[in-house]
Amino acid sequence: MTTTSERRPPKLTAKGRATRERIVSAAADLIYEHGVHNTNDEKIRAIAGVSGSQMTRHFPTKESLVRAVLQWQAEQIVTDPRIPEGRLDSLAALRLWADTFVAAREALHGGCTFGSLAAELIKGQPSHRSAIADGFERWQELFLRGLTAMRERGELRAEADPAALTHLLAAAFQGGMLLDQAAGNTTPLRDALHGALDYVESFTPQP
Amino acid sequence: MTTTSERRPPKLTAKGRATRERIVSAAADLIYEHGVHNTNDEKIRAIAGVSGSQMTRHFPTKESLVRAVLQWQAEQIVTDPRIPEGRLDSLAALRLWADTFVAAREALHGGCTFGSLAAELIKGQPSHRSAIADGFERWQELFLRGLTAMRERGELRAEADPAALTHLLAAAFQGGMLLDQAAGNTTPLRDALHGALDYVESFTPQP
């Protein structure tokens, strides 16, 4: 499938790459704040400080820009410095991850940077489906890798299913983020993550 | 706060009520299928079989119609016939609920009828925030009531926290529905709900 973004010139100069990055970053911030449908070219250009023709050269359509934002947000969540070296391979690391995100109150502000965008787009724009699937998969890899390592080291019993536990943790996070935004407090996310982690902990070997 | 829908005439004739119901039902179906932003008046009118003036009389703005759809979907989820008498007050009932929704594959089609709409609207339209909060709260009441009854009957130990377990179940459901849509299969929802229910079950009294 040839997509609009794949038709852009493969080689950008350093300046071109910087301009493109500035546009995507501005678009990501605005979309996170207001949603895709309340974000338009003019607002993005004003924040990124680029002209209409620069904007069009990099992103001929809104769809191509939104796809770039999806990819950018996916990259941000898997390289989030709050998950040091992307390692979630101990109960302590998983609990720190949960507490960090509950405390950050992103849930109240605008939810998961990637998940909230995915939820807004998934139904209306089938063309974004694969970028959404890829992003969630890359993110869930962090849990899968960590839980698998824990089982291999004997920190989880053999009957623990890292893939199933990954789905529980990921769903608790995404659902909790949505419920928090609705409720206006971080109790749903906190309860959901703590419950999911207590369940993971139930697979530690009995002394 | 005076909202558009509150300004509509308080008394409708039976025919007026039927027309209004037809519009809301058609809008709900289209929005579930395509999302709010890809659903317009013309499509709704065609399906509901109403004129432009009928539409405007009942719903002067798209916002007022979307609010009515939110309320309608919230009503549907708390009166869903797949939750007989709204009772989720045993592990068997909770497991049947989970299996029913996994098997229904709504997760693949368009996610939770209420939650997917909430996720699409929550950021862009602060005016819908309270309808979204109310809907989630009414839905979670089903779990809270059931889990509280189970604890009162001694089917869950005293240290089980029905409110916290409710948040885990609700988040696992909403997050699982989103992850399923992205992945194109029902494994994430199934794993998340089964994990959450196994955790609930861990609070049953030891023999």
Provide the pLDDT for residue A2.
44
**Degrees, nearest 5: CA angle B47-B49-B55:** 100
Q: Is the pLDDT of residue B5 over 60?
A: no
pLDDT digits (tens, 9 = 90+) for B24-41: 999 999 999 999 988 999
User: What pLDDT does B159 receive?
Assistant: 97
pLDDT at B1 over 50: no
Contact B167 A192 (CB under 8 A): yes
Q: Would the pLDDT of A169 be above 50?
A: yes
Residues 6+ apart with CB under 8 A from B116: A119, A122, A123, B32, B110, B177, B178, B181
Residue B2 confidence (pLDDT): 43
User: Cβ–Cβ contacts within 10 Å for residue B71, how many?
Assistant: 16
% of chain A surpassing 70 pLDDT: 95
pLDDT digits (tens, 9 = 90+) for B115-163: 999 999 998 777 899 999 999 999 999 999 999 999 999 999 999 999 9
3-state secondary structure of A51: coil
Report the percent of chain A where pLDDT is more than 90.
80
ipTM: 0.92
- What distance in Å separates residue B53's CA from the closest CA in chain A? 27
Mind telling me how many Å the CA of B13 is from chain A's nearest CA?
A: 34
Domain boundaries, chain A: 4-65, 79-201
pLDDT in tens, A39-96: 999 999 999 999 999 999 999 999 999 999 999 999 999 999 888 888 999 999 999 9
> In the CATH hierarchy, which top-level class contains the domain A79-201?
mainly alpha
- Closest in A111, A133, A192 to B168, CB measured: A192
A190 interaction partners in chain B (CB closer than 8 Å)? 167
A79-201 matches A4-65 in CATH topology: no
Alpha helix locations (H) across chain A? 14-34, 41-48, 52-58, 62-78, 91-104, 106-109, 113-121, 129-152, 162-183, 187-201
Q: Which residue of B has its CA nearest to A132?
A: B182
Distances (CA, A) of B1 to B7, B11, B80, B127, B176: 11, 20, 30, 10, 34
More confident residue, B155 or B104: B155
Q: Which of A33, A62, A178 to mutate to test the interface with B (most CBs of B within 10 A)?
A: A178
In contact, B22 and B48? CB cutoff 8 Å: yes
Q: What is the pLDDT of residues B57-97, one digit of tens each?
A: 999 999 999 999 999 999 999 999 888 888 999 999 999 99
pLDDT computed for residue B99 by the predictor:
94
- For all residues of chain A together, what is the average pLDDT? 92
Residue of A nearest to B188 (CA): A167
Closest partner residue to B136 (CB to CB) among A125, A161, A182 is A182
Cα angle at B196 between B191 and B198, to 5 degrees? 95
Contact B188 A179 (CB under 8 A): no
Cα A55 to its chain centre, rounded Å, is 25
Write out chain A residues lying below 8 Å of B198, CB-based: 199
Q: How many CB pairs under 8 A join A and B?
A: 186
- pLDDT over threshold 90, residue A177: yes
3-class secondary structure for B102-151? Answer: HHHCHHHHCCCCCHHHHHHHCCCCHHHHHHHHHHHHHHHHHHHHHHHHHH
Are A174 and B175 within 8 A, CB to CB?
A: yes
Q: Which of A35, A115, A191 sits opposite B164 (nearest CB)?
A: A191
Could you say which architecture CATH assigns to the domain B75-201? Orthogonal Bundle (1.10)
User: Which distant-in-sequence residues (6+ apart) come within 8 Å of B104 by Cβ?
Assistant: B82
pLDDT above 70: residue A124: yes
Does B180 score more than 70 pLDDT?
A: yes
Q: Specify whether domain B12-60 bears CATH 1.10.10.
A: yes
Architecture of the domain defined by A4-65: Orthogonal Bundle (1.10)
Please say if the pLDDT value at position B6 is more than 70.
no
